[in-house]
Structure 1
């Protein structure tokens, strides 16, 4: 994705490569991060372009399960999350491992709802994009962003080049601020010189769907004993999931961390298939009941791309490595970072001077680190521990037999605490995240 300087961009204003539109802000990518950002910007009265390379409805690799953190974000955006509107509600997390089957309800908190949700990503992402449209964002579908337009003197992004529609018409979109919400690969960020930090954790997720009688399960289910097919006694650092979709199917998948030596050497679809083959036959997780092929995606974790603001570009969601390293959850943090970024942009737009606007925009990475930095630092340490098969074995065999410890673990892994007050567990977790370095 090559950058275009303003001298070259001037040529793009000719009729065959026109400036398609100008706006206050361009948001590249209409996934949860981009649509949330666009929604809050438009709601505040800014002119927003939301550019999506595909056309809705479109599929994304995901577990489709949402924790109370994501539920809160949907409620904040005015989305109807009732069962009557097609959402499947869940009570909590069922954990299976070490011969133990433990059901943990979502905690009762003031800060978050006490239920999670399930919805297919093809439907979910479109709901958010349409909500952003209703707020006033201008959505372009089938708009493939090909590169940034840069000011030749300052190197600042002033827009993007793109190919639009079936005919792939080359156009330019101009705005003083651009938000990269283009996912893990984030070609726009890379074109701006922002590369992945190799010392930060990464994960992968693979999933498929099966016709199953377990489709209406009211708990998200997590299996902690994924094994290396080559070494049956060696546990892998990750988990398998089974999420009922409420439509006659189950989403069955696995998430694995790169802290294991086996990470780059295993065939993950084969691991998923092998794991499913050990399930009870009546559940239906067999090849003949598979409704979609196995697909995978990367999980960029713990701020693995920084800085989150530079030269007119803000990073949100997977583009900024916002996935929770404790549990692989990405949607809640994509939406939260979008809301934070929009708030910063709105405040910056109200400043009178360029220096004042930049001062506010440079606060965005600081706010992110204040909110998530300590927690993600703890998560990076957690990922390293799970890289040891011995630690995984100890955790599954001993930890699951202590319900109080598991209640604490659920709050920690799902990042579900009341920020003010709360119980002793909340105060301990909040205290740990405050003292951990904001890296």
Structure 2
């Protein structure tokens, strides 16, 4: 078996498969490694807004994803305490629809799409144990198959696409540049017969110190998530001991009077509820000598803003562009790392900062309530607000609009 490649990508889910595809299209030989076998599930909101669908269509994979009969949507219902914002995501690059596809379909299809380009090899069931170095430069990886057999592979660049708790990131000692701890625990479950009014849509709630998210997904199911403060001993105990029952209970008491309360009451649980007890919104150094990071390994953010998978798309393209423009990587690691960080910060930082705001358990101020009321009352402001999420506009543009509306007599 071949043991030397241009790039080794550790992690073959969304971030890794997207990067492998982009690298293969650029002419690089790629090895994807993952400790899992596929198809398999992973805890995720798995949502692509329409800005991402434009990129998936350009890649040539969107039609296959749609063959799973995962529903498309473009409406968002958002409730901030007693204020409701209800509107549609603005068009981006000709796309109007959004897609929330289950990871057991998505990851496998993205892997197969990458492998179909040629120049990509994938090894599932391989666990990374160490990196190989020449001086300070990473030149390969070591690991073991599930049968215990050890193996090593070499490459000009090793990329960590192995998630929030990235093994590769730890082995290369990538420094954390920014970290904002979340104040919430997060639990997610799948439900059937979840009935919405009107056309299908995404739901987001922030009522008091409780948050909720709802996405229509594959298999005629809805992803329902509930977030509550880590300091809340009652809910922590209930979810740890009986997560399925606790999800229904928190819908009844934490979302009183909201659509979520009644809709979850009438739905049926399809799969077990799973959770995450606290996590940081982290931003790590993205590149060093012989290594780089993409996806959640690079920057994990609160899932309530639904930006993880779109950010993986952007990072894959940014990194591939930098590698394609530089012919002598070994002589230019610092220059490439600086350029990677600059582009990532320009593209991803505004939504990372949004996540850092959502992740803190603080009530809306009177000023924030006034802004929410203005957005809710104006279709134009609602569209601009939702456009921040799908990158049709930048947060600064929304701020300018609101300031202009406040200044009017």
TM-score by length of 2: 0.81
Alignment match of 1:391 (pick from 350, 357, 365) = 365
Match of 1:74 in 2: 56
Q: Which residue of 1 aligns with 2:256?
A: none
Question: 1:365: which partner in 2?
Answer: 341
Going by fraction, where is strand more abundant, 1 or 2? 2
Matches of 1:379 and 1:160 in 2, distance apart? 33
Out of 161, 177, 185, the position equivalent to 2:142 is 161
TM superposition score normalised by structure 1: 0.76
Instruction: Pick closer, same or farther for the CA change 1:316–1:102 going to 2, 3 Å.
Output: same
Deviates more, 1:25-34 or 1:324-333: 324-333
Q: Is residue 2:331 matched to residue 1:355? A: yes
Residue in structure 2 matched with residue 241 of structure 1 by the alignment: 213
**DSSP-derived class of the 1:70 partner:** helix
1:57, CA displacement in angstroms?
0.4
Whether 1:312 and 2:312 are equivalent positions in the alignment is no
Structure 1 residues 214 and 63: CA distance shift in structure 2, 3 A: farther
SS of the residue 1:292 aligns to: strand
What is the deviation of 1:65?
Answer: 2.9
CA shift, 1:63, in A, is: 2.2
Match of 2:12 in 1: 30
Map 1:246-395; keep pairs closer than 5 Å.
247-255=219-227, 262=231, 266-267=235-236, 269=243, 272-277=247-252, 289-297=268-276, 304-323=282-301, 327-348=305-326, 350-351=327-328, 354-356=330-332, 359-373=335-349, 376-377=352-353, 380=356, 382-383=357-358, 387-391=361-365, 395=369
RMSD: 3.5
Q: Does the 8 Å contact 1:146/1:162 carry over to 2?
A: yes
SS at match of 2:305: coil
Q: Is the 8 A contact 2:205 2:213 kept in 1?
A: yes
Deviation at 1:205, TM superposition (A): 3.6
Match of 2:30 in 1: 48
Question: 1:261: how far off?
Answer: 7.0
1:65 aligns with 2:37: no
The 1:294/1:25 distance shift into structure 2, 3 A limit, reads: same
Question: Any idea what SS the aligned residue of 1:193 has?
Answer: coil
Match of 1:228 in 2: none
Kept after mapping to 1: 8 A contact 2:49/2:99:
yes
Q: CA deviation at 1:42?
A: 0.9
How has the CA–CA distance of structure 1 residues 59 and 313 changed in structure 2, closer, same or farther, with 3 Å as cutoff? same
SS state at 2:365 partner: helix
Gaps of at least 5 residues in structure 1 are 1-18, 226-234, 430-439
Q: Conserved in 1, the CA contact under 8 Å of 2:185 and 2:227?
A: yes
**Alpha-carbon distance in 1 for matches of 2:345, 2:300:** 11
1:264 deviates by 8.9
Residues 155-234 of structure 1: pairs in structure 2 closer than 5 A: 155-164=136-145, 166-196=146-176, 199-202=179-182, 205-214=186-195, 218-225=200-207
Structure 2 residue ranges without an equivalent (≥5): 254-259, 402-409
Per-residue Cα deviation, 1:169-211 (whole angstroms, up to 9, x for no partner):
1110111200110100011111211254564344654211122
Query: How far has the Cα of 1:212 moved from its partner?
Result: 1.2
Q: Write out aligned runs for 1:147-158 (5 A).
A: 147-151=130-134, 154-158=135-139
- What is the alpha-carbon distance in structure 1 between the residues aligned to residue 231 and residue 59 of structure 2? 41
